Amino acid sequence: MMHSANQQREYQNPRDLIYKVAQWTWGLPQSLCGLAVSLYYRNCRQYEFHGAHVTVWPHKSSLSLGMYLFLTDDAFHYYHDQKSEFTEKAFARGLLVHEYGHTIQSLMYGPLYLIAVGLPSILWANLPALQKRRKEKRISYYSVYPEKQANKLGERFTGEKSIGAPIS
């Protein structure tokens, strides 16, 4: 039997396997959505990160659905100020760790993820009144639930630094 290096690596870490099984059972609704989106973007660059399936997509925002994580190809788009402190690669890595934290929230909240995490995230990001408030009071998008929790979880489960609380 021939095995690619990729396949072997996938099953080497038992924690990644448990992560995937949990995402496909307890986190099923969002994993199904994530699979559909990842198939749509199948021509984009994809790789694995601690059991999560990462797609680098051509959008300004990033998104996590179950074990599927969609990372912007333009990490500095909303955060030009960060260019003085980080390389684009390092900043995108922090964003990846943050998004990985959302995939852990998928395991915590299970079938409630889309309502308990997805909905408040989308509203916090897109409602004009909240955008205005963030801008006026210089509040970071990453400073409140569920974003702040995603930072903490991402750091705990990857051992790497997350994005922190940059102000856009």
Note the residues at the interface with Zn ion (CB under 5 A): 147, 150
CA distance from start to end of the chain: 51
Output the smallest distance, CB 117 to Zn ion, in A. 9
The residue among 147 and 155 lying less far from Zn ion, judged by its C-beta, is: 147
CA distance 59 to 70: 9
18 vs 90, which CB is nearer to Zn ion?
A: 90
Taking CB atoms, the residue at the shortest distance from Zn ion is 147
What is the closest distance, in whole angstroms, from the C-beta atom of residue 106 to Zn ion in the complex?
12
Nearer to Zn ion, 53 or 98 (CB): 98
Question: Cα separations (Å) of 100 from 54, 64, 130, 136?
Answer: 9, 7, 24, 29
C-beta of 11: minimal distance to Zn ion in Å? 29
Is 147:124 a contact under the CB 8 Å cutoff?
A: yes
Nearest CB to Zn ion, comparing residues 16 and 147: 147
Give the whole-angstrom CA distance, residue 60 versus residue 104: 22
Structure tokens at 58: 């051509």
Rounded to the nearest whole angstrom, what is the least distance from the CB of residue 113 to Zn ion in the complex?
Answer: 13
